[in-house]
Structure 1
């Protein structure tokens, strides 16, 4: 039930950077192959794999689904009991061993190299549980499909699944990185009437406008807290507010920018 992939495109997420720096002591498993946003083709499929074959265009996913456990069958969660996202997991589910190794000349033997987020995409080839691989249309450009592994699905998913943005609503987005821009795209497709982007980097506004953002706020240019500016712009507060910067102070501003019956979402 494992698949070997040839990685053709991979992007870098801040989560990879955090793991590389060892910001969480429990994640300090080295040597390790990082990376979890990628796209490629199936090089070979192991015993028991029936829905994937050599040559299939695929996207690795860190939040896998076995499709059989009570969690996968439930409408309340998408966290598979066996293949859910787990930054502390560093081996394969089948035998508890890694599929990577490197020769240690001093010891005269190979030593293990560990996995990361069920994917380990910073490699020419990688091995994943088949539950963590999704087949995509071969006509889709793989250099863009790699963004669906994390950033795009996180942002659009937050807009559609978590917030369930309604047509004609007002939306505030704090942080216009990949996730924030994906939220904007999700809000645009849901026909939000006003999409406000908040970022301290004005260069983000150009791309933000392409993704559907209608108004921008640079907190450095404001003489009052951002949430007060948004409350004035929306006549009482946004219907939906998304924190996509991973900052506690920003999260507080995002929450305070909403009105009484709105929804705040951590992207």
Structure 2
């Protein structure tokens, strides 16, 4: 029986309030309206941005919500005016929309979209509109996606069509983490082949880091001087490129200071809007460059299919990132694993293809 044009009752993980476990609920997902697409989510991963929203920023005005933004699924139905997608298409939602028409979308200088922030409340990181509700109460749609749900509705500008042969339980990672990290290095920093030093206070990550090319591992806890001095000693004055991925302002400054003063490039990837980051102007005027990178500099609708192809061509690692596989019912366990730094990525099976 077709579900197009009808409300779908399905299962979702609802965060009713900040800093509390999410709860599996039956929710109602309304049909897509003009320029919208309703998707059956097949697989979704837990990203630290979900934890940040739930456990760190904790803006009460952003609750209740359905978290999740790193996912892959299948188009169930489309709203009026949607011609790019049709039922059955395999897709990846993207939290950074791409309208393709504004001056930002047409510029090679940025992956931002002027109209994107008309769809998302930047202060809360939720959609202006939401087709999700539970017991008559509207649920916020996190990052315009809300993929901790069997079904969700996204704007067509926030969706990328991918190869129909792609394994959704793997390529879901391209919806955020992989594209963000890879792109920050390749697109934003424009790194060159060289020594790669992984810095982390969790020594258990060293072996995994080597799988992805790290040549050295440094644990700041093993040293009695600042990490920037440790790296300067290792590299004759500082690294050429540093990429910060924690969202901690003190780490952002350390990453900047770790760069060689004359030409080093430091890229901020981690997200936070809770604190200001401080630095001295002398740390930049000598020649360092400080950059930010959102979604790795990729224009979502165009960049995501290319990353999927790179994985299929064995030029991009994805499987090695997945340390745990669970179901949507186990989402709180997956959140705890990431909170305790006991995983790289947990992929949740949501629906069968």
**TM-score under structure 1 normalisation?**
0.81
Residues 68/123 of structure 1: CA separation in 2 closer, same or farther (3 Å cut): same
Number of equivalent positions: 231
| TM superposition shift of 1:43 | 0.9
Say which of 119, 140, 146 aligns to 1:114.
140
Following superposition of structure 1 onto structure 2, how do residues 133-212 of structure 1 map, counting pairs within 5 Å? 133-166=159-192, 192-212=193-213
Q: Which runs of 5+ in 2 are unaligned?
A: 1-34, 270-353
| TM superposition shift of 1:21 | 3.4
Match of 1:255 in 2: 256
Query: Contact 2:127/2:143 (CA < 8 Å) preserved in 1?
Result: no
| TM superposition shift of 1:51 | 1.4
| TM superposition shift of 1:225 | 2.0
Superimposed CA distance per residue, residues 13-61 of structure 1 (whole angstroms, 9 cap, x where no aligned partner): 2221222236253x62222111111111111122211111111111100
| TM superposition shift of 1:234 | 1.2
Q: Which runs of 5+ in 1 are unaligned?
A: 104-109, 167-191
Q: Aligned to 1:148, what secondary structure does the other structure show?
A: helix
| TM superposition shift of 1:244 | 1.1
| TM superposition shift of 1:252 | 2.0
- Give distance in 2, aligned partners of 1:235 and 1:34: 44
Higher RCO (CA 8 Å, separation ≥ 6 residues)? 2
Query: Contact 1:87/1:116 (CA < 8 Å) preserved in 2?
Result: no
Query: In the alignment, does 2:77 pair up with 1:77?
Result: no
| TM superposition shift of 1:89 | 5.2
| TM superposition shift of 1:135 | 0.9
Query: Contact 1:13/1:37 (CA < 8 Å) preserved in 2?
Result: yes
- Give distance in 2, aligned partners of 1:89 and 1:214: 37
| TM superposition shift of 1:87 | 5.5
Q: Aligned to 2:66, what secondary structure does the other structure show?
A: coil
Following superposition of structure 1 onto structure 2, how do residues 123-142 of structure 1 map, counting pairs within 5 Å? 123-142=149-168
Residues 21/70 of structure 1: CA separation in 2 closer, same or farther (3 Å cut): same
Root mean square deviation of aligned Cα:
1.7
**TM-score under structure 2 normalisation?**
0.62
Superimposed CA distance per residue, residues 169-189 of structure 1 (whole angstroms, 9 cap, x where no aligned partner): xxxxxxxxxxxxxxxxxxxxx
